[in-house]
Structure 1
Amino acid sequence: MNWKNAKRTVIAVPLSAALLATGAGAVSASGGNNADVPEKMAAPTVETPAAQLRADLSQLLSTHFIYQSEVALQAYHKAEEGGPTGDGLEQAQAQLEVNGEQLTAAVKSVYGQEAADAFDKIFDTQYEDSAGYGTAVANGNEEEIAQVKEDLLTVFPTDLGTLLSQATGGNLPKDTAISVLQEHEKDVMQFLDHSIAGDFEAAYAEFNEGYERMFTVGTALSSAIVTQMPEKFENTKAVTPASDLRATFSQLLGAHFYYQTATSVEAYEAAKGEGGEAFEAVSEMQEANAEQMKAAVKSLYGQEAADAFSEIFSTQYEDSEALGEAIANGDTEKVNEITDMLLNTFAVDLGTLLSEATGGELPKETAISVLQQHEQSTIDILNSYAEGDYETVYNTFTEGHALMFTIGQALSGAIVNQNPEKFAAAPGMPETGMGGMADSGNMNWILFTFPLLALAGALVFTRRKALQE
């Protein structure tokens, strides 16, 4: 299959109205249009044009990082004798190119065709070099490795960093842009280097850092654009307590989805006896992600609530592992049992908890439905992987990853609507730079920027006490 043609079969994640810079009005938490109301007087909301721009850029950039890393690794396997075959390379490349087209469309929508063409020309070399790096390493071609490193670590960051700084009128400092792009490329290369060395713990620690970095870039770039064009974003800010909450949810949920699917696939490979060397590392990353959620519960509601949350949430990632094993073993009865647990027990219970936790701001049926979609995505990815249908694997992953941002938006919106006083705009919020969540500095609302399931843990605790009484 020709991957340049295959890209047309991929379902693209649509850009939002804010990203297209149309100036469409955002509805505040109170239900009115706040376009003509000073932000300090408006009710806090996660759905301002600037917050949407930040979310869209973060989604596109984090998806880009996932597929860039995947392409480098698959290209290595494709060229290396023995071991994994890299059979999904063309399909991963298709997704990477579609993502590049989406980013180019975003540039065009804000800065016009000339800027988009310049961006596209620079960006083409980057994702081509990602595969080239994997191939060169597999072939032991030191001259080619040195050339690709020069392109990825010096030429590409300098060219793109300069373009972005100029496009934003200097609101994104050139040196800062170049530096963070260099770090991004190092993340991709070091993930590959650690993976092929068999040091999967280091590989996925690097992956996790690189994934988080994309949200930092999304925050900085959106802040620079909003600062440059305030009227196009209704004078709203990209960085506020409410948008930080949304960004935090999206980041941790996106990482959760990646590690959940990776754990299932690695468990499948291990049970088949055909690989699965990274199983322990990705499983530990999934648990670490869950520990972040547990820590949030503890910080807000104490140890007992955190323990209750952990007990419930652990069933979900344990079932993800067990599903991989059951499919590998051809145990249809076990597969059906686990599928039912994920779709009709975990999703229903958690959706109910989230709705109750938000006082109904997040409708129960909506919460259950979106969680079922999430679990179905992980199930479909694993089944497609087992069948060798990599096109469906990556199509479903792209959609499933985007769904995590939808959940992040819905949950954060419900919480902000429920507790507007906790998300009132704080003074001195950064507009530019590579800060954002970490630089906002107000502990009262930072405690509320922990991920989605913290509230579920709290409600489990509340229900347990009610039953005891």
Structure 2
Amino acid sequence: MAAPTAQTPEAQPEAAPTPVLPEKQAVSQLRATLRNLLGEHVLLAASATNAALQGRTAEFEAAAQALDGNSVDIAGTIEAVYGEEAGDAFLSLWRTHIGFFVDYTTGVATQDSAKRDQALAALDGYADDFAAFLASANPEIDPGVVAENLRMHVATLTAVIDAQAEADYPMAFAHQREAYAHMESTAKYLAASIAAQFPELFEGKADTAEADLRAALNRLLAEHVFVAAQATNAALGGRTAEFEAAAQSLDNNSQDLAAAIASVYGEGAGEAFLALWRKHIGFFVDYTTAVAGQDMAKKEQALAALTDYATEFGAFLNAANPNLPVDAVAQLLGPHVQTLTAVIDAQAAGDATQAYAHLREAYAHMRHIADALTDAIVAQFPERFEAVAHAMSGETTEASTAIMTAPQLRATLRNLLGEHVLLAASATNAALQGRTAEFEAAAQALDGNSVDIAGTIEAVYGEEAGDAFLSLWRTHIGFFVDYTTGVATQDSARRDQALAALDGYADDFAAFLASANPEIDPGVVAENLRMHVATLTAVIDAQGAVTPQATGDQQNAYMQLREAYAHMDTTAAYLAGAIAAQFLEAFPGDAASPEADLRAVLTALLGEHTFLVGKSAAASLAADTIGFEASAGALDENSQALAAAIGSLYGQEAGDAFLALWRKHIGFFLDYALALSAGDVQAQQQARDSLNGYTAEFAAFLNSANPNLPLEAVEELLRAHVSTTLEVIDAASDPSAFYPALRAAYAHMPAIANPLADAIVAQFPEIFGDSGTASTGQNHGMAPMAQDGAETSMETVSPTESMTVTVDIQTFAFSPARLEVPVGTTVVWRNLDGTTHTVTAGIPGNPTGLFDSGTFGRDQTYAITLDTPGTYDYFCARHPHMRGQIVVRADG
């Protein structure tokens, strides 16, 4: 390929160059390679311009050197296909456009509009020159497409530079993400063109679902490393505003990564991933803080936490995909930790050259993780990606595999719509009570929820539909704001006007949904939306009620809130059913089946539990007695509803045992909040220890009821619940931190609800139908549903029967709980639970000392022979709600 200059872009080679790649490779790999290199170009360019504009000369020089190294690598990829001469020509031309960006930055820095405009004109001309250069080497390339892509690159990167010059860091990082993401379209186009030119060297296509997944994971994981380094650089340099913007950009990247995982494994898995991924970012923050403070002990502690995390993350991925061995994942994460901490060390030492060298190494390493993860997912779901790709573009898929079942879709919608109600009520309550900072934080969280709901619509119907939905959805929130303002100001006219607007909106919104889905009856949607309006305005009315304490009628408000929250399942069930009917292959199953009901109920109640724990803790920390009593009362009603759900499957005894155990962990959360309020660090740690111990206890309880719930898996899920909820409590005094933490904790609960629903469905196929999961066929002696006539918990043994009687300890209950036996009977207690229990004579708080087994574990027994007539009460000293009684008859 000839080496054209900017003045001779029309130069053509005499013949197509001969590629020099020795082995065939997948087009998706070529696309990922180009994508990573072009993306790194953007990130390094942005770092260089930022350092230049802020006068950090040494860092600018180091970033510029790294940028040129990236240019050499891009040219090397061209050279690998077209030969050394072409690679050299590419490098020369590529460096030219970087020089134009330097000119633009200088013009911005010196406020020299002429120089800035001259640079823009040069970049515009360069777009055509560069496009012609590529087209001269590859007849598959349309120079117009390349030029358009390059002009978008110019537009997005100059937007970064403009924001940097204004020190508008949130905007700078937002534009940086946009500029970085744009390079994907360029990489995809070039990869497809090269593969079309040389089909003997590249197999596959550049636009398959596998290629999309590989590119997305490469893009996001590499961005994670680079933006993390930008954040630590700003933090160590004391540039607080820049650090905060970088940290937010990093979290946006984390959310996108979680969404990519959710697109394959479902929303619950995505939420669990997000919580775990954020955890390791926290450890890097700890490491950076330690380095800044020269605290070697804290630094080693952070490194140890990162090392442990590698195994924890490996276990998480392995649980989702057996093609990802725990050790292999941990080994991949090891270099991630090593390379990024090397970046931080160099930054702290003020060695910008080493920092950027290590950063390029850290960025490049993420390819190993992204490719391994992609390969494992593709191996696990060899046919699934076409279904995902079609559904994400709004096309009807004909693939045989599904994105998610209709019951899972219902639970997803139910979770998001329920969160909408909870956050809306939080925003209106804060507004009515004049808590401005909290209102703003809640409103921001509410809009985040709106974006997530729109994202679900977009995943099915495409980006345009998602955008239209979001605009319309935000409109109805505005009407609720108007209604709240009318209540606050006692302006009945404004309130009525808002109600009229909401009533009209119900029809508009129903028509919008019906236009996208012929399965939807707009009358049903409108009716559902009017009920949403009625229930949520009832909440607002109670919040705004005139009371002597000027706090509204909080008891009534929480009662109405639970009703408004519960109503959203009706809407979710209807929409899920309609979407599933429209896209049968993508969403199989019945959104109104018993399984769907179970999944929706568990998702809703567990999400509501987390929300109410957070609100109760916040009220406690704020010394808001009225708010605490109202939220705590609603929380206990939620607990009772959860226990009733368990009892409907496993019997009332199991429900009662669940309730006692569930209330126990709520108590630990409140202990933690009280200790936090009092500044009692020791009591805080004690509450943490109690919660950590509780995870094993509760896991044993669930496992004893359902063998499809492995102890370690349940413990892991509960530990995440504990961790995310404690983060909520820690942030309770800062609304801007509280609501993001609350959303994260709420979002985690489907990760518990879904496995619990799966295990129950597998255990009782006769109730829920065949879930596709093999059931053990056991129920540990527990009635799956209420039978004709309640099961008795009392057993009478006559003198003619065996003089040895067995009492089973299972699901944290004695069975039978009451026993009547003749004198001389030996009673044997057999522990079938996965945790230890005791058999202690007496009642809780008043043991008699007559007998006491001490603790004994699974499959162990304890026996006594009762030779004296009388009534013997006993209980478990570890779990005082477990009580039993033996009546010894004298006529034995």
Which sits farther off after the overlay, 304-313 or 183-192? Answer: 304-313
Amino acid at match of 1:385: A
Q: In the TM superposition, what is the alpha-carbon distance from 1:224 to its structure 2 partner?
A: 0.8
Q: How does 1:51-200 map to 2 (within 5 A)?
A: 51-78=407-434, 85-152=435-502, 154-169=503-518, 171-197=519-545, 198-200=552-554
Which sits farther off after the overlay, 67-76 or 457-466? Answer: 457-466
Q: 1:78-134: CA deviations, max 9, x gaps? A: 3xxxxxx23122222222222222222322332334433432332121223333333
Q: How does 1:248-287 map to 2 (within 5 A)?
A: 248-270=601-623, 275-287=624-636
| Alignment partners' CA distance in 1, 2:649 and 2:671 | 32
Pick one of 706, 728, 748 that aligns with 1:381: 728
- Asked if the contact 2:731/2:741 (under 8 Å) is kept, the reply is no
- Asked if the contact 1:241/1:446 (under 8 Å) is kept, the reply is no
- Asked if the contact 1:3/1:91 (under 8 Å) is kept, the reply is no
Q: 1:287-337: CA deviations, max 9, x gaps? A: 122222333455555554444333322212222333332222222222221
Q: How does 1:64-463 map to 2 (within 5 A)?
A: 64-78=420-434, 85-152=435-502, 154-169=503-518, 171-197=519-545, 198-233=552-587, 235-270=588-623, 275-302=624-651, 304-342=653-691, 344-359=692-707, 361-386=708-733, 388=734, 390-424=735-769, 459-461=811-813
- Asked if the contact 2:263/2:388 (under 8 Å) is kept, the reply is no
Amino acid at match of 2:715: I
- Asked if the contact 2:607/2:750 (under 8 Å) is kept, the reply is yes
- Asked if the contact 1:165/1:173 (under 8 Å) is kept, the reply is yes
Q: In the TM superposition, what is the alpha-carbon distance from 1:384 to its structure 2 partner?
A: 0.8
Q: 1:458 to 1:289 in 2, by over 3 A?
A: farther
Counterpart in 1 of 2:183? none
Q: 1:412 to 1:3 in 2, by over 3 A?
A: farther
Q: 1:312 to 1:159 in 2, by over 3 A?
A: same
How many residue pairs get matched?
410
| Alignment partners' CA distance in 1, 2:170 and 2:430 | 14
Higher RCO (CA < 8 A, seq sep 6+): 1
| Alignment partners' CA distance in 2, 1:54 and 1:227 | 13
Give the secondary structure class of the aligned counterpart of 1:140: coil
Counterpart in 1 of 2:338? none
- Asked if the contact 2:487/2:544 (under 8 Å) is kept, the reply is no
- Asked if the contact 1:262/1:282 (under 8 Å) is kept, the reply is yes
- Higher strand fraction (1 or 2): 2
Q: 1:366 to 1:59 in 2, by over 3 A?
A: same
| Alignment partners' CA distance in 2, 1:303 and 1:425 | 25
Amino acid at match of 2:585: E
| Alignment partners' CA distance in 2, 1:401 and 1:63 | 8
- Asked if the contact 1:21/1:110 (under 8 Å) is kept, the reply is no
Give the secondary structure class of the aligned counterpart of 1:238: coil
Give the secondary structure class of the aligned counterpart of 2:662: helix
- Asked if the contact 1:240/1:425 (under 8 Å) is kept, the reply is no
Structure 2 unaligned regions, length at least 5: 1-167, 175-244, 268-383, 390-398, 546-551, 772-782, 788-808, 818-828, 832-838, 840-861, 863-892
- Asked if the contact 1:187/1:207 (under 8 Å) is kept, the reply is yes
Give the secondary structure class of the aligned counterpart of 2:660: helix
Q: 1:373-402: CA deviations, max 9, x gaps? A: 11222221111113x2x2321111111111
Amino acid at match of 2:727: D
Identity of aligned residues (%): 26
Structure 1 unaligned regions, length at least 5: 26-34, 38-45, 79-84, 427-443, 449-456
Q: 1:50-103: CA deviations, max 9, x gaps? A: 22322221122112122222222223233xxxxxx2312222222222222222
Give the secondary structure class of the aligned counterpart of 1:288: helix
Q: 1:164-219: CA deviations, max 9, x gaps? A: 233221x3321221111111122222112112323222211111111111122111
The two structures have a TM-score, normalised by structure 2, of: 0.42
| Alignment partners' CA distance in 1, 2:487 and 2:747 | 32
Q: 1:225-268: CA deviations, max 9, x gaps? A: 111221333x4322322232221211111121122222222222
Amino acid at match of 1:400: A
| Alignment partners' CA distance in 2, 1:290 and 1:194 | 23
Larger radius of gyration: 2
Give the secondary structure class of the aligned counterpart of 1:466: strand
Q: 1:303 to 1:231 in 2, by over 3 A?
A: closer
Give the secondary structure class of the aligned counterpart of 1:183: helix
| Alignment partners' CA distance in 2, 1:57 and 1:373 | 22
Counterpart in 2 of 1:433? none
Q: 1:373 to 1:363 in 2, by over 3 A?
A: same
Q: In the TM superposition, what is the alpha-carbon distance from 1:411 to its structure 2 partner?
A: 0.9
Q: In the TM superposition, what is the alpha-carbon distance from 1:159 to its structure 2 partner?
A: 0.9
- Asked if the contact 2:432/2:543 (under 8 Å) is kept, the reply is no
| Alignment partners' CA distance in 2, 1:212 and 1:21 | 35
Give the secondary structure class of the aligned counterpart of 2:437: coil
- Asked if the contact 1:309/1:458 (under 8 Å) is kept, the reply is no
| Alignment partners' CA distance in 2, 1:161 and 1:366 | 42
Amino acid at match of 2:497: Q
- Higher helix fraction (1 or 2): 1
Counterpart in 2 of 1:466? 830
